[in-house]
Amino acid sequence: MKKTLLLLLSSLLFFSTSMAADKSAKKAIKLLDKVRKDLVSLSADFRQYELDANQRQSESSYGKVWLQTPNKFKWRYLKPVEQLISANGQQIWVYDADLEQVTLKQQRNSQNPIYVLLSKEQTEKNYSLQLQELSKEEKKLSKKDKADTIQWINMQPKRANEDVKQVWLGVVNTTLAVLKFKDQMDNTVVFEFSSVLRNPELQDDFFTFMVPKGVDVIRDSADIGEF
């Protein structure tokens, strides 16, 4: 009798947990759909830094990013070192101005966390989503100060990924504010966005990099992450 009761209680607990997870996933998908609604392109300023496993922070980099659905992006690092990463849906150019060289590779990695903002299909194919519930203190503070509270979407890769172990999207209202991802060494790369502009007009060739004269071109066919 006791064994039967324990099995019943375990089944109910599993069912309750499963229901809660399913509800959280639906909330996360709904929020991300709002972020993507009518989104064709996006531009923003960014600050990037890295946290190691002991939460020590690296030096920050600053620049500007442009995105266009479904899979085009450009990251222009301005300081402390100039670098450009541009992808036109087929190829990726990584240009190091100081080294006077550009690395050219095929654009293949659909698990790159930036695609989750651009493509609903790639999100649901490659990641399991959960919406992180606000704590009681966060809810009280938000109501008291009438502040825009950041909501976190936790994303777990559905299959093993050499580059990404965990992803978080920080959303304020319906605008992406933070992108974080943890690698297999438990280092966390953080992108904080500001001056976000939805649907800027971009030329068709904006994401295709024109190699300057005198710059060495290195072709890399390895299917590795874009960041």
How many domains does the structure of the chain reveal?
Answer: 1
Rounded distance between C-alpha atoms, residue 210 and residue 48, angstroms: 25
User: 117-162 pLDDT, tens per residue?
Assistant: 777 887 888 888 999 765 555 445 444 444 578 899 998 888 877 7
Residue 143 counted as domain residue: yes
Rounded distance between C-alpha atoms, residue 25 and residue 192, angstroms: 24
Residue 12 counted as domain residue: no
- With CA atoms as reference, report the closest residue to 226 among 82, 66, 121, 115: 115
User: 202-226 pLDDT, tens per residue?
Assistant: 988 999 999 988 888 998 755 444 4
User: 33-89 pLDDT, tens per residue?
Assistant: 999 889 999 999 999 999 888 888 989 999 999 999 888 999 999 999 999 999 998
CATH code (residue 213): 2.50.20.10
User: 């639906």: which residue's tokens?
Assistant: 26
Rounded distance between C-alpha atoms, residue 91 and residue 108, angstroms: 8
Question: Is there a contact between 180 and 170 (Cβ–Cβ < 8 Å)?
Answer: yes
Residue 17 counted as domain residue: no
pTM reported for the whole predicted model: 0.78
Strand, coil or helix: 82: coil
Count Cα neighbours of 197 within 13 Å in the Cβ-side half-sphere: 11
Q: What is the DSSP letter of 201?
A: -
Q: What is the pLDDT of residue 141?
A: 47
Residue 2 counted as domain residue: no
Which of 4-18, 67-81, 96-110 comes out lowest in average pLDDT?
4-18
Q: What is the pLDDT of residue 4?
A: 58
Residue 20 counted as domain residue: no
Residue 5 counted as domain residue: no
User: Domain range holding 105?
Assistant: 25-220
